[in-house]
Amino acid sequence: MLLTNLTILVLAGFVGFAVISKVPNTLHTPLMSGTNAIHGIVLLGGLLVIGLSGNGALNKLLLVIAIAFGTINIVGGFLVTDRMLEMFKRKPTAAPKDDEQ
């Protein structure tokens, strides 16, 4: 199991390098917030551990907080990235828009 997991670990690292090194400077902020959303996947860890036996009250509290944190990370990260990327799309008319003003 360790060997399999380490293999996945190393290969995934190389895949990450290969994919990300092609991203242009312009898209670095969305890239960062997009990958930021992806590490919210630790939510799965919270979901798994809370499903195991032997969790006391404090553990449940810790895990609920962890699940809430993971959810913030995922939902917030993807939404904010989506908002940003929408702005990079060419717009037909330059309508002054949005919450900024």
Partner 1 sequence: MSLATSFFHDANFLDVLYIVAFALFIYGLSGLTGPRTAVRGNRIAAVGMAIAVVATLLQRQEGNWGLIILGVAIGAAVGVPAARKVRMTAMPQMVALFNGVGGGAVFLIAWAEFRRSGGYHGTALYIAAFSVFAAIIGSISFWGSNIAFGKLQELLPGRPITLGAAQQPVNFLLGALAVALGVIIVAGSHSELIFILMLLAAALLGNAVVLPIGGADMPVVISLLNAATGLSAAATGVALNNPALIVAGMIVGASGSILTNLMAVAMNRSIPAIIAGGFGGGGVIEGATGAGEHAGSVRSTSAADVAVQLAYARLVVIVPGYGMAVAQAQHAVRELAKALEARGVEVKYAIHPVAGRMPGHMNVLLAEADVPYEQLKEMDDINPEFARTDVSLVIGANDVTNPAAKTNPGSPIYGMPILDVENSHSVIVIKRSMNPGFAGIENELYYKPGTAMLFGDAKSAVTDITAELANI
Per CB under 8 A, contacts with partner 1 among 48-77 are 48-56, 58-60, 62-77
Per rule CB under 8 A, count of chain residues that contact partner 1: 90
Task: Give CA–CA dist 1/56, Å, rounded.
Answer: 28
Q: Shortest gap between Cβ of 45 and partner 1 (angstroms)? A: 4
Residues within window 6-25 making contact with partner 1, judged by CB under 8 A: 6, 8-9, 12-17, 19-25
Q: Shortest gap between Cβ of 92 and partner 1 (angstroms)? A: 10
Task: Give CA–CA dist 2/6, Å, rounded.
Answer: 6
Task: Give CA–CA dist 101/99, Å, rounded.
Answer: 6
CA 74 to chain centre: 5
